[in-house]
Amino acid sequence: MIHLDTLEFGLFKKYMVRGFTSSLAVGRLDALKPYYALEKIEKYKSELSEALDYASVADISVSSDSDFMTLMPRLNDPLLFLEPEELMVFCSFFKNISKIKKNLIDFGAKSLKNYLSDISTLSEITDRIDETINDKGEVKDTASHKLRDVREELKNVRKQIQRELANVFAMSSASKFIQEQVITERSGRFTIPCKTNFKQYMQGIVHDRSASGQTFFVEPSSTVGMNNTLQEFLALEREETVRILKEIADSIFQSYERMQTSVSAYTEVVFHLETAQFFKGRDFVFPEFSDKIIFRDVHHPIIFLEKGTESVPLDFSLSDSEYTAVVTGPNTGGKTAALKSIGLNHVLGKCGLPVFGKYAEIINFSNILADIGDNQSLVMDLSTFSAHMVNIRDILKAADKESLVLLDEAGTGTEPREGAALAVAVCRRLAKKCGKTVVTTHFSELKSYALTEDHAVIYAVDFDYTDFSPRYRLLKGVSGKSDPLVIAKRLKFPQDVIDDAVGMIEKRKSDAEISVEEISRLNAELIGKTKDYEELKAKLDYQEEYLSLREQELGDKLAKKESELLEEAIRLYNRAKRLAEKPQKIKESVDNEIKEAEEKLKKVKKAIKPVDEVSVGDVIHLEKYDKSGKVLAIDGDTARMDIGGLKISIKLKEIVGKKVKEKDKIKEVIVSKAVSSQSKYEVNLIGKRVEEALDELDKVLDETVLAGRSKLYIIHGRGTGQLRNGIQNFLRTDPRVKSYKTAPNEEGGQAVTIAEF
């Protein structure tokens, strides 16, 4: 037995259904109730978890199926006949099923596989409907050979009638008896609007008359036979159309059992997809099942859905040896909300649904019994107290070791001491049954019970006494004050009334009561400040980690930039060396500068740490190119990567950057550069001066690399060999070039150099 209404499970489902599109999913949600067998709960958890994984990588598009569900009860009729529009509804529904089934199979669904195997897409019927009905809901001419022939004859007859009527309009006396030169249809026959004197000029049959009586719609005698023929062909068309539609309807009737199985399986699939869409984008966790209750930052589901980030999560626990939790503190502090949160989150977990929060362990209770709120019954002539007592009596009968009992303000509504004694007795009885009980109270007797019994724990709702505002947190091991006077102050009671009440309370209090209250107050402050400290420390730890990552990232970028600058410096030094027309001493100085830069570059590159544990399928953001690439294959110390459609080979030690996490992956984009798809695979530099040739070669190398080519043929001619030497010296130090060689004789020999990337 589970008190779903008391725990507002129906209200939670109303929040869920707001985003549902499928009427099948809505019906499935409406029937959703907690499961009792743990195997069944885990099964639905697994299915929903897979749907959530699918929702994280795909846009779920569920079409409305209300029209189909209206149609379905009629489909199990041997005399079934469906209009074209109804066949389109049928076709659309099963096409949508087919699309969802295909997408889930392509995704690699496992937990949902049993449902998918039961879904028949009835493609033989939907294909036939597509062949028969067009987008406007009309039967196509090509639906059958006979229909095509009949419609061709209809077209010919209509043309004959129109020609004959056009001849009537062309008569010299037409203006004397024709009201308007238009062809109208009356009673399925083509007519022309005539004046009342038409009989003086033309023989015909009157089929209709205007409201004014001044216009007759006349079928000329010359078209009567043609109109008769037209009617015969129209009858044949209707007969053939009905035959075709009935044939399709019969095939649907014959497939009714397959259809039922498909709809039943699809209902489960679409319910999981719609539920996944509901939870998508929210912080949730599937609760684990054990022999204890642990909530860490778990929200009340309805408050979370209503208030979002303003909702305060709950921390709560009951170990396997603790049977009773007593929640204390002032009104408006959140005791009842905490009680409902514990119960409702157990209900969600037993439905195979996740809860909103960071971590949860729950027990698979057979009973979740609650006495919360005002149970006054005017029909049964019960007061609030009596109604509570009846409910608690029934709970005591039903409760066992597999029960969670939630009692709100047990024993209130009567003489305080007797009510408190009764509440303690109820808790003791429930503890003997070894189930779990959570009770809220203002009674000091119940607080003492929680503080003195080994199987009981006490909680207090956190309250800020500086501004009299609740913090909606639970503090374990603390006895909270009820503080009606605090609430009175918040509600602006007259000060003299409050002072009078304080005086009476102080007279009645014993020293022991004052000491306990003071200890609880100090303990509550300590726990509250500890909680604040832990939250602040968590924020600081996060910021420290973030700053550390940023520092490392900036260091890597600095090293990368320094590496790029040094590479550019080497290229500039080489160019300066070629340009130098100075004595040998200057060239030696430049050589020394180049060597120093190369040594420094080696040190910088050594300091740059490559990405660890690169695997096939990883998506890595490469710092050097500021682009993300996917690892296609790994061969020894070299990886083959796809960067925006460009396939490159790169040494593992040169893969500098960071792996892209699953949630940060975006659709791969082919980057468009101003490079022709017909990029050069050869460049002709014959006749150019060395510097002019090297400038052009520098540009062509960029184009060739971007085009993804592995080789470039550089044609420089034989000549004196000066141009060839200059080009090969340039290639020797260029970081884009893997190697170069003089072409074999059949490819140009000494006149061509081949660069490989």
The answer to whether residue 135 sits within a structural domain is no
Spatial strand order in the sheet of 657-659 = 646-651, 638-643, 627-635, 619-622, 657-659
pLDDT at 676: 43
Question: Which single residue is written with the structure tokens 């493609």?
Answer: 123
pLDDT at residue 443 greater than cutoff 90: no
Task: Give the DSSP H or E segment for 437.
Answer: strand 436-440
Q: In angstroms, what CA-CA distances link 513 with 440, 443, 509, 517, 520?
A: 20, 13, 6, 6, 11
| 275/293 same-domain check | no
pLDDT at residue 605 greater than cutoff 90: no
Give the integer Cα–Cα distance in Å for 586 and 593. Answer: 11
Give the integer Cα–Cα distance in Å for 354 and 344. Answer: 12
| 377/435 same-domain check | yes
| 654/693 same-domain check | no
The answer to whether residue 577 sits within a structural domain is no
| 459/368 same-domain check | yes
| 173/238 same-domain check | yes
- In terms of average pLDDT, the best of 451-455, 651-655, 688-692 is 451-455
CATH number of the CATH domain containing 350: 3.40.50.300
| 40/105 same-domain check | yes
The SS3 assignment for 737 reads: coil
Stretch among 188-192, 223-227, 352-356, 451-455 having the lowest mean pLDDT: 451-455
| 357/496 same-domain check | yes
| 317/435 same-domain check | yes
Nearest to 328 by CA among 222, 176, 457, 199: 457
Q: Which two tokens stand for residue 334?
A: 């959140």
Amino acid residing at 695: D
Stretch 673-697: mean pLDDT, rounded?
71
The answer to whether residue 523 sits within a structural domain is no
The answer to whether residue 742 sits within a structural domain is yes
Q: Are 133 and 139 in contact, with CB atoms under 8 Å apart?
A: yes
| 271/238 same-domain check | no
Give the integer Cα–Cα distance in Å for 390 and 717. Answer: 107
The answer to whether residue 743 sits within a structural domain is yes
Q: Are 327 and 461 in contact, with CB atoms under 8 Å apart?
A: yes
| 181/326 same-domain check | no
Task: Give the DSSP H or E segment for 701.
Answer: helix 690-706
Q: Which two tokens stand for residue 139?
A: 């039967």
| Of residues 98 and 719, more confidently modeled | 98
CATH number of the CATH domain containing 656: 2.30.30
The answer to whether residue 320 sits within a structural domain is yes
pLDDT at residue 366 greater than cutoff 90: yes
Q: Indicate the length of the chain as a whole number.
A: 757
Give the integer Cα–Cα distance in Å for 441 and 15. Answer: 30
The answer to whether residue 448 sits within a structural domain is yes
Identify the DSSP state of 382: B
Q: Are 328 and 362 in contact, with CB atoms under 8 Å apart?
A: no
Q: Record the pTM.
A: 0.64
- For 17, the domain range is 9-122+255-279
| 661/696 same-domain check | no
* Residue that finishes a domain, picked among 246, 271, 300: 246
| 303/226 same-domain check | no
CATH number of the CATH domain containing 739: 3.30.1370.110
Number of domains observed in the structure of the chain? 5
| Of residues 523 and 735, more confidently modeled | 735
CATH number of the CATH domain containing 191: 1.10.1420
pLDDT at residue 513 greater than cutoff 60: no
pLDDT at residue 522 greater than cutoff 90: no
The answer to whether residue 528 sits within a structural domain is no
